[in-house]
């Protein structure tokens, strides 16, 4: 930056502000009195500063000037605190140079003497004046080239070939050019091959008639200032009328490219530093052609093998797999398009992804992700709405090109829709021992599959799903459908808020026969029945199903029996009781001459037995308290019959559920 100085001999600054004057302590030079004081303040106009030159200082000396003091402030900030005696030489060398305000600021003085003055002190005297500020000497004045100072201000100006920016400080090279109508030529950075100027914004406009475009080729050395991290400091930006904007910097020669536009603006920006050589590029026009594809996610079917098509070319546009045309007929996937004079195709119909939509889901099933994308190749998965259910199959489904959700094996979702099935064989994690005949009470949620029929005949059943329960045939024999009520979610038979379940169907095994052909009473072969409820049972911690056994399971050695039946001293129990029983082969049990079959097994314990009123209830394994997600509780038997009397050496007989798995499955599927 070059500085020009102008000497002005005399110029009034402001009629209301004196250019010079004196300020001194009271009584100077005879001496100031105790408790005397003085305040003084003057301000400079814009572009000026006010200075104070002390020519005399004689005040009482004290520690940190706490007795008598002279304080000088600039713009309300303390510059110095003085006391004692100073010579003129000391004042000029170390104090006076700092006593001035900022440009357009104020200078003030505060003198204060205390109550005593052991010896006479003459005080202080100073000369103040208003001076012009030379802004050109200030490195922060922001003039990028030349600076001219005048009284009250300064101005920036530029060397020949540059113009002053509207900010009045920045000089920019005059390098913008309009080359409209020019079909070819060369553009270079200003001053090339010398380093380009600083603080410049050059704008070059290229424009020709419709149907033509510009080819740009960079030649020679390319050198535009760039940071080490690749960020541009200076930049060359190419802006087509339509299409992508490209910005270049660094030392790598940019590649040749077509602008695909009849008008291009080329902008060259530089900052205030650097010694770089810039750029050189040649341009020429050529006829506008069309390029494929016409739209994303589509391809061209044409007789041309090139990717560039002259005007008038006709092509078939075909949507890629999994996409269809955005038109009234969403099944269409191709159309004809023609290359226009402006290098654009017409018509242009976008190809959209096939959308499989949100599937209709069965009750209890929901999507794992809320509002997932449902277009081509997107995936969805499912989950159950309740923690008491689990999917019968896992995995994700993918939207295919035909608009169908398909599994990994290729099956359509509509053919392989996952279902939520109740989690079976799990109970609340509690421990509460007990017996049935001679038993103890059960904790709520411990045997949540046990349900109760209170009226005659009193009996039990076991939930095996959220619609079906399994019981003994003789418990429901004689009842018509829709006439039985069952209670669940309770351990107290007098509970006032049980879950009430009404039956919709009662299906007794077709081979059940309570009285034999020869009149033999109490023949309980095939003593099993299915109950379907009229509405889905709302599962929860206190009411949920037990698992059925597997066909391949070996007969268990022990299990738990439960029910609301007879106890030692009562005809029936108010509370649900449970007990551990051993399971025996039929030859180990005494049937008292009554017939037994392979569809039965017997079980009992040390004065533990099922009894009247427990009929239809469960015998399950493992023993209560030992179930787990890996070893859920399974229904091994249904309380069926027994010899007269309960407990002691008696053992009850149970319907062997494992023998009826096919019948249970088929019956539930048909009903």
If you write DSSP's letter for every residue of 230-274 in order, what string do you get?
S-BSSEEEEEESSS--EEE-BSSPPPPEE--SSEEEEEEE--S--
Given 69, 313, 465, 615, which residue is catalytic?
A: 615
Distant-in-sequence, close-in-space partners of 628: CB < 8 Å, separation ≥ 6:
none
Strand partners, 441: 577
Given 28, 121, 474, 509, which residue is catalytic?
A: 474
Phi-psi region of 568 (alpha: psi -120 to 50; beta: other; left: phi over 0): alpha
Q: What is the 3-state secondary structure (H, E, C) of 631-648?
A: ECCEEEEEEEECCCCCCC
- Confirm whether residue 149 is marked as ligand binding: yes
Q: Is 527 a catalytic residue?
A: yes
- Confirm whether residue 60 is marked as ligand binding: yes
593: number of Cβ within 10 Å = 7
Please state whether the peptide bond connecting residue 309 to the residue before it is cis, i.e. omega within 30 degrees of 0: no
Which of 52-81 are b and which e, b meaning 16 or more Cβ less than 10 Å from the residue's Cβ? bbbebbbbbeeeebebbbbbbbbeeeebee
Given 466, 525, 527, 609, which residue is catalytic?
A: 527
CA dihedral 56, 61, 63, 68 (to 10 degrees): -70
- Confirm whether residue 492 is marked as ligand binding: no
- Confirm whether residue 607 is marked as ligand binding: no
Phi-psi region of 211 (alpha: psi -120 to 50; beta: other; left: phi over 0): left
Q: What is the 3-state secondary structure (H, E, C) of 326-362?
A: CCCCCCCCEEEEEECCCCCEECCCCEEECECCCCCCC
Cβ 484 vs Cβ 475: under 8 Å = no
580: number of Cβ within 10 Å = 20
- Confirm whether residue 35 is marked as ligand binding: no
- Confirm whether residue 150 is marked as ligand binding: yes
Instruction: Please give the C-alpha separations between residue 174 and each of 201, 211, 267, 619, in angstroms, as whole numbers.
Output: 8, 32, 13, 100
Q: Is 189 a catalytic residue?
A: no
- Confirm whether residue 553 is marked as ligand binding: no
Q: What is the C-alpha end-to-end distance of the chain, expressed in Å?
A: 99
* Integer Rg of the chain from CA: 52
- How many angstroms separate the CA atoms of 11 and 18, rounded? 12
- How many angstroms separate the CA atoms of 165 and 148, rounded? 16
- How many angstroms separate the CA atoms of 204 and 660, rounded? 91
Place of tokens 């099922």: 610
Q: Is 615 a catalytic residue?
A: yes
Cβ 582 vs Cβ 593: under 8 Å = no
- How many angstroms separate the CA atoms of 8 and 153, rounded? 13
- Confirm whether residue 133 is marked as ligand binding: yes
- How many angstroms separate the CA atoms of 494 and 483, rounded? 21
- Confirm whether residue 215 is marked as ligand binding: no
Helix, strand, coil percent values for the chain (each to nearest 5): 5, 40, 55
Q: Which residues carry a binding-site annotation?
A: 60, 68, 114, 116, 132-133, 135, 149-150, 153, 225, 234, 271
Q: Which residues carry a binding-site annotation for Ca(2+)?
A: 60, 68, 114, 116, 132-133, 135, 149-150, 153, 225, 234, 271
The residues that are catalytic are: 474, 527, 615
């Amino acid at each position: 930056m070059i500085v020009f100085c102008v000497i002005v001999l005399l110029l009034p600054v402001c009629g209301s502000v004196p250019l010079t004057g004196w300020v001194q302590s009271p009584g100077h030079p005879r001496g100031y009195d105790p408790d005397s004081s003085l305040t003084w303040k003057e301000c400079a106009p814009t572009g000026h500063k006010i200075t104070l030159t002390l020519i005399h200082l004689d005040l009482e000396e004290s520690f940190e000037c706490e007795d008598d003091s002279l304080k000088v402030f600039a713009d309300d900030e303390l510059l110095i605190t003085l006391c004692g005696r100073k010579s003129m030489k000391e004042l000029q060398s170390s104090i006076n140079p700092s006593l001035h305000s900022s440009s357009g600021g104020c200078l003030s003085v505060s003198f204060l003497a205390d109550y005593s003055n052991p010896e006479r002190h003459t005080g202080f005297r100073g000369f103040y004046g208003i001076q012009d500020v030379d802004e050109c000497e200030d490195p922060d004045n922001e003039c990028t080239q030349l600076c001219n100072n005048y009284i009250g201000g300064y101005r920036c100006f530029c060397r020949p070939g540059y113009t002053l920016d509207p900010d009045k400080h920045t000089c920019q090279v005059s390098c913008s050019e309009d080359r409209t109508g020019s079909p070819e030529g060369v553009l270079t950075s200003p001053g090339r091959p010398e380093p380009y100027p600083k603080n410049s914004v050059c704008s070059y406009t290229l424009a020709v008639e419709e149907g033509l475009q510009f080819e740009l080729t960079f030649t020679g050395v390319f050198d535009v200032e760039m940071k080490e991290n690749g960020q541009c400091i200076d930049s060359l930006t190419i802006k087509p009328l339509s299409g992508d904007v490209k910005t270049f910097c660094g030392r790598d020669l940019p590649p040749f490219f077509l602008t695909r536009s009849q008008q291009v603006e080329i902008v060259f920006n530089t900052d205030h530093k650097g010694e770089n050589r810039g750029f050189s590029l040649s341009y020429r026009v050529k006829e506008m052609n069309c390029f494929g594809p016409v739209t994303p996610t589509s391809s061209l079917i044409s007789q041309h093998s090139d990717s560039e098509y002259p005007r008038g070319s006709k092509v078939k546009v075909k949507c890629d797999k999994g996409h269809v045309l955005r038109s009234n007929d969403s099944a269409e996937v191709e159309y004809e398009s023609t290359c226009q004079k402006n290098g654009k195709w017409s018509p242009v119909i976008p190809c959209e992804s096939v959308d499989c939509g949100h599937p209709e889901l069965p009750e209890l099933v929901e999507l794992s992700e809320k509002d997932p994308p449902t277009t081509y190749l997107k995936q969805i998965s499912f989950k159950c709405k309740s923690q008491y259910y689990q999917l019968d199959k896992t995995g994700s489904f993918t939207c295919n090109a035909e608009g169908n959700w398909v599994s990994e094996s290729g099956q359509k979702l509509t053919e392989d829709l996952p279902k939520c099935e109740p989690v079976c064989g799990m109970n609340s994690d509690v421990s509460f021992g007990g017996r049935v005949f001679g038993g103890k009470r059960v904790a709520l949620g411990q045997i949540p599959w046990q349900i109760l029929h209170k009226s005659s005949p009193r009996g039990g059943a076991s939930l095996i799903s959220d619609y079906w329960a399994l019981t003994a045939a003789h418990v429901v024999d004689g009842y018509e459908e829709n006439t039985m009520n069952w209670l669940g979610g309770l351990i107290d038979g007098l509970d006032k808020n049980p879950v009430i379940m009404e039956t919709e169907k009662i299906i007794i095994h077709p081979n059940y026969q309570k009285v034999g052909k020869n009149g033999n009473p109490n023949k309980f072969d095939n003593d099993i029945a299915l109950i379907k409820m009229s509405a889905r049972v709302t599962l929860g911690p206190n009411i949920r199903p037990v698992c059925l056994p597997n066909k391949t399971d070996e007969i268990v050695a022990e299990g738990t029996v439960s029910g609301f039946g007879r106890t030692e001293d009562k005809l029936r129990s108010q509370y649900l009781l449970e007990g551990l029983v051993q399971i025996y082969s039929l030859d180990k049990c005494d049937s008292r001459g009554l017939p037994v079959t392979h569809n039965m097994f017997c079980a009992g314990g040390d004065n533990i037995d099922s009894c009247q009123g427990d009929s239809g209830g469960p015998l399950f394994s493992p023993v209560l308290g030992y179930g787990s997600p890996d070893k859920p509780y399974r229904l091994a038997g249904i309380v069926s019959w027994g010899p007269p009397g309960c407990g002691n050496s008696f053992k009850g007989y149970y319907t062997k559920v494992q023998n009826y798995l096919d019948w249970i499955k088929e019956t539930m599927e048909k009903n």
